Structures are given as C-alpha cells and as structure tokens.
C-alpha cells in the first residue's frame, strides 16, 4: 500500500463516526421532491454541511424549482489551482411509500447489522457526506486540497431535474471544471466496484382514461364504458406478451453502439441467479424469452415500464364501483439518439391510430441519454484509484441502466464524467429498506480522497494527450 493511501485510510477511520452523525441528521430531513417536503430545511442543511467542511456556498434560486446549492473548495498552497473537479449530487429523495414495508422508520436512520437504513442513504445523501468527509481527510492528511473542488447539489433529481438546464446554462462559468464525478455508484452483488461513464435517458409519462364525471355503481357495466378496461386495452396495444414494444417510431434514431462499447458490455459481469435472489423474482428474465443478453438490454435497449396503475377502489374487500377514470405511470428509459419529446409524440400517435384518442398523455419527465468517451485518462484514473483503494475488481459500463441529467452536463460543460459511490447491490434505492453498508461508506471516503490526491497529474496526462 502506498504511504499516502495508508495515511488517508487511517485518518478516515478516525473521522467516519462523526461523519455518520452528520449523515443521520441529513437523512432525518424528509426531502421528497415529488411531495414538496422539507426543501428549505434541506437546502440550509446542505449549505451548512459544506461550510462546516470549510467550503464556500451559494444558493442558486433565481430560475425556478427547488434551489441548487453550489459549493467551492479552493486548492491548497501545494495544490494545482488550475485544475478543478466537479461533484454532482442531489439532496432530494424518492417517496418512502409503501411505508408498511419498511422494517425501520424511513426517516429515522437506524444502524442494523453494519448497515444504515433510511430513505436516501444510498440515493444520494450518503455520497454527499462521503465526499465532504474526503475533503476533510485531505485537508488533515495533506495539509490542503490537490485541486479546486466544486459541488452542484440539486433538489429535483428524483422528479427528473425539470428546472436544472437553465441553471447550468446561466451558471456555466461557475460550474466549469476539468472532470466530473457523478452522484452515485457502488459495489455489485459480488462486491466488485461498478462504475459508469454515461446514463440512460427517460420519458416518464402519465396516461389517463376518463369515462365519466363520477364513480358509478358497477351494475351499470352492462352498458357504460369502463375507463379502466379502456386503459388496459390501450396498454395492451403498446407492448405484447413477449415484452416487445409495439409503438411505431419508438426506436427511431437510436445510436448504433460502437465496437469498444460492445466490448465493454461483454466484459461486464451479470449474475442472473444473484439478481433473481436479491429481488425474489418469480419469473425468468424477459431477455431470456427474447434471446437477448440482459447486459446489452441494460445498456443499449430502451424500456417501457409500468411504474403505477390506479383506478377505482383498491382498499380491502369488494366495492362494486365502475370507476370514472384510470391512470398509468409509464417510465420509458431511453438510449443515446432517442428524444423524449419524439417518444411522447409516437405514443400519442399510436393511441390515436388504435382508436384511443380519448386517452390523454402527459410527459412528467423527459431527459436524453448520455455516454461520455470512456477512454479518457480521467476515467482510467478513477478506475485505477478505485482498484488501489478497494483492492477489488472494477467494472466500467458505457452507460448505466438508470437515468440522471447527465446529457446537459456533457453538452454544456464538456468534461468526462464517471459515476461512482458508496452503495451496494442490496441498497434498494427507490424501494423500502434502502441502506448503505458502513464499511462501504468508509472505503468510499478513502477512494474519493485518494482519487483527488492524484487528480492533477492524471489531468495533466489528459492535456498532454489533447496537445497530441
């Protein structure tokens, strides 16, 4: 082990207990963006956490939506003030529902068996506190920071960052950096370090069928059209039993994967058995029936997922009602080349063509996909330091199966992006009983400190390459 890494590791161990107390206070804030909860309190908390780590802050709140928190830490006297790294994080979390499936209170962080349980522990509050801790570790161990460090911490990631673009466009200079570490990441089911250099896009829609002004007694089903049946029939025309998407134009314009990307996907591990056990899957993977590689589906194929269905009476027992309306939440994950607005148009046209002109569609969240050039030296640096810090195999995917507002960063700020973080395969982001493992948190701090420590040299390599 290098002397630097050992010193970083030792001080990290010392400081982590205090950091976990800060994280617990952060997790107690119920910052559910979809439900407009605790936003001002959380913005204040985040700014104070940056200031407590000796950083400067600005609250950007002039362009609508939940405020964006900007944080800045200057390079130390021995550091390289010409180099800057940007951390992207978000302070909002997914709704905690269904509450009755949590083993502990979703907003009362609880340590059980070496894991910290709370909504947002993995996605994405744990990562912010780990990164701030890494800064404290570098200041203590190296007497200052190796380069400038910036933070962009937004509050609407979980609802699709609907207001982020104008902030990035207006504050482009403020956020300018040489490289970017994205919000999340972690270990896979075999504890390999899993990183991505891109992200899928999204077209998240709500389809609504309205049959009447009021709910009716279900006996009128003999002659009254049923909004729920109508929605079911419409959905059944959009995807078939074999899980093939049938909407015309849906696959328009998709970028053909490059050979290097295909190879990277082939190098990715995929353990169907472990995934099946983790989620308790009752059925085979849908890729099996289609003869597809699930890794290729994850990276290169768009999806159309029902996230929610709602109509009529869903409580206990038998209520005999003919519902006035029915609603579905539909999440299409997009790949580079797809445009959420075009997807919306295709679905509207599909409904029209199939006789469902009365079903309305609204786009709740539209984002394009993004892949950065994963052969950039910055990415190699993040990978190598991860190998050194974790002493584990590391994996790089051309893009994740998940989504974030990476497209606008890549387009406006033009830097390489790697996503890595303190999660694990059982983190259950977006589901009940979300958690991180305390050991992963500590190792994540060490990795970030170590990665930053060698960053100016790595970026220098990058510039040398550009000159060539």
- Measured CA to CA in angstroms, residue 148 lies from 102, 135, 190, 244, 455 at distances of 40, 11, 34, 48, 10
- Contact with its own copies (CB under 8 A) among 90, 125, 200, 376: 200
State whether residue 314 is helix, strand or coil. Answer: coil
174 binds its own copies per the rule CB under 8 A:
no
Q: Choose which of 137, 153, 268, 298 interacts with its own copies (CB under 8 A).
A: 298
Q: How many residues contact its own copies, by CB under 8 A?
A: 97
Cα distance between the two ends of the chain: 33
Smaller CB separation from its own copies, 15 or 224: 224
Which residues 18-37 are close enough to bind its own copies by CB under 8 A?
A: 33-35
Among residues 112, 246, 260, 307, which is the contact residue for its own copies, using CB under 8 A?
307
Segment 352 to 391, residues that bind its own copies, using CB under 8 A: 355, 358, 364-365
Q: Which residue among 2, 271, 305, 391 contacts its own copies (CB under 8 A)?
A: 305
Binder among 77, 283, 466, 468 for its own copies (CB under 8 A)? 283
Find the part of the chain contacting its own copies (CB under 8 A) among 48-56, 272-280, 340-348, 384-392: 272-280
What is the distance between the alpha carbons of residues 46 and 69, in angstroms, rounded to a whole number? 8
| Location of structure tokens 């030296």 | 377
* 123 DSSP assignment: I
Minimal distance, residue 286 CB to its own copies, in Å:
5
Interaction of residue 309 with its own copies, rule CB under 8 A: yes
Contacts of its own copies in 203-242 (CB under 8 A)? 204, 210-226, 228-229, 231-233, 235-236, 239-241
User: Shortest gap between Cβ of 213 and its own copies (angstroms)?
Assistant: 3
Binding segment for its own copies among 61-69, 157-165, 341-349, 379-387 (CB under 8 A)? 157-165
Q: For residue 18, count CB atoms less than 10 angstroms from its CB and return exposed for 0-12, middle for 13-18, buried for 19 or more.
A: exposed
**Minimal distance, residue 71 CB to its own copies, in Å:** 27
Judged by beta carbon, residue 115 or residue 333, the one nearer its own copies is 333
Among 76, 144, 402, 454, binds its own copies (CB under 8 A): 402
Q: For residues 127 and 436, give the distance between their C-alpha atoms in angstroms, rounded to a whole number.
A: 10
For 348, list phi and psi in degrees, rounded to 5: -60, -45
Residues 270, 273, 278: CA angle, nearest 5 degrees:
95
The answer to whether residue 461 forms part of the interface with its own copies (CB under 8 A) is no
Q: Comparing C-alpha atoms, which of 392, 419, 377 is closest to residue 269?
A: 392
Q: Is 316 in the site for its own copies (CB under 8 A)?
A: yes
Q: Which stretch binds its own copies (CB under 8 A): 8-16, 260-268, 293-301, 378-386?
A: 293-301
Give the single-character DSSP code of 69: E
CB 343 within 8 A of CB 203: yes
> At a CB cut-off of 8 Å and minimum separation 6, what does 382 contact?
181, 195, 418, 420, 451
Distance of CA 210 to the CA centre of its chain: 33
Tokens of 450: 């170590």
Instruction: Measure CA 107 to chain center.
Output: 20
Task: Decide: helix, strand or coil at residue 187.
Answer: strand
Closer of 366 and 444 to its own copies (Cβ): 366
Nearer to its own copies by C-beta: 62 or 277? Answer: 277
Residue 180 CB, nearest distance to its own copies (Å)? 21
In the complex, least distance from residue 403 CB atom to its own copies, rounded to whole angstroms: 7
- Residue 341 makes CB contacts below 8 A (sequence gap 6+) with 363, 366
**Contacts with its own copies, 62-101, as mask; x by CB under 8 A:** --------------------------------xx-xx--x
User: Judged by CB, which is closer to its own copies: 12, or 287?
Assistant: 287
Instruction: Name residue, tokens 């009752």.
Output: 282
Q: Tell whether residue 176 is a contact of its own copies (CB under 8 A).
A: no
Strands 115-117 and 435-437: antiparallel
* Residue of the chain from 31, 89, 400, 435 that contacts its own copies (CB under 8 A): 400
Which residue lies nearer to its own copies by CB, 36 or 172? 36
Q: Is the peptide bond before 98 cis (omega within 30 degrees of 0)?
A: yes
| Closest CA relative to residue 130, chosen from 2, 8, 7 | 8
- Report CA Rg, the chain: 23
Q: Which is nearer to its own copies, 358 or 412 (CB)?
A: 358
- Taking CB under 8 A as the criterion, which residues in 426-445 touch its own copies? 428-433
Residues 103-142 that bind its own copies (CB under 8 A): none
Per the CB < 8 A criterion, the answer to whether 328 and 306 are in contact is yes
- Of residues 285 and 380, the one with the C-beta less far from its own copies: 285
Instruction: Name which of 459, 320, 283, 267 is nearest 381 in CA terms.
Output: 459
Span near its own copies by CB under 8 A; candidates 168-176, 190-198, 305-313, 406-414: 305-313
Q: Which is nearer to its own copies, 84 or 287 (CB)?
A: 287
């Amino acid at each position: 082990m290098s002397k630097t890494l050992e010193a970083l590791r030792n001080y990290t161990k010392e400081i982590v207990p205090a950091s976990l107390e800060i994280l617990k206070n952060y997790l107690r804030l119920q910052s559910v963006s979809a439900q407009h909860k605790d936003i001002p309190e959380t913005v204040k908390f985040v700014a104070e956490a940056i200031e407590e780590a000796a950083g400067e802050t600005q609250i950007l709140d002039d362009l609508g939506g939940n405020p964006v928190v900007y944080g800045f830490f200057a390079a130390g006297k021995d550091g390289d003030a010409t180099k800057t790294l940007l951390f992207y994080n978000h302070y909002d979390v997914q709704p905690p529902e269904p509450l009755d499936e949590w083993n502990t209170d979703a907003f009362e962080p609880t340590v059980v068996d070496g894991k910290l349980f709370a909504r947002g522990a993995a996605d994405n509050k744990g990562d912010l506190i780990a990164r701030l801790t890494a800064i404290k570790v570098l200041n203590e161990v190296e007497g200052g920071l190796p380069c400038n460090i910036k933070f962009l911490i937004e509050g609407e990631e979980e609802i699709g960052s609907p207001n982020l673009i104008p902030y990035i466009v207006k504050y482009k200079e403020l956020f300018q950096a040489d490289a970017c570490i994205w919000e999340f990441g972690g270990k896979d089911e075999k504890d390999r370090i899993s990183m991505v250099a891109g992200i899928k896009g999204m077209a998240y829609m709500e389809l609504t069928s309205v049959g009447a002004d009021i709910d009716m007694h279900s006996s009128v089903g003999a002659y009254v059209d049923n909004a729920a049946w109508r929605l079911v029939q419409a959905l059944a025309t959009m995807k078939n039993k074999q899980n093939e998407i049938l909407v015309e134009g849906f696959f328009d314009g998709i970028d053909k994967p490059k050979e290097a990307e295909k190879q990277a996907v082939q190098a990715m591990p995929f353990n169907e058995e472990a995934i099946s056990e983790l989620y308790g899957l009752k059925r085979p993977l849908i890729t099996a029936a289609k003869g597809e590689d699930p890794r290729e589906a994850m990276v290169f194929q768009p999806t159309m997922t029902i996230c929610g269905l709602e109509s009529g009476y869903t409580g206990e027992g038998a209520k005999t009602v003919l519902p006035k309306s029915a609603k579905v939440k539909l999440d299409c994950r997009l790949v580079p080349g797809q445009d959420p607005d075009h997807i919306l148009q295709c679905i509207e046209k599909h409904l029209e063509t199939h006789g469902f002109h009365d079903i309305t569609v609204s786009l709740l969240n539209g984002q394009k996909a993004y892949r950065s050039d994963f052969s950039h030296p910055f990415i190699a640096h993040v990978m190598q330091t991860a190998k050194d810090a974790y002493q584990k195999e590391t994996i790089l995917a051309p893009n994740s199966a998940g989504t974030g507002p990476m497209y606008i960063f890549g387009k406006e700020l033009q830097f390489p992006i790697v996503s890595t973080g303190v999660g694990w395969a059982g983190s259950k982001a977006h589901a009940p009983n979300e958690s991180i493992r305390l050991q992963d948190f500590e190792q994540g701090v060490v990795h970030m400190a170590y990665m930053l420590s060698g960053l100016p040299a790595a970026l220098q390599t990058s510039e040398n390459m550009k000159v060539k």
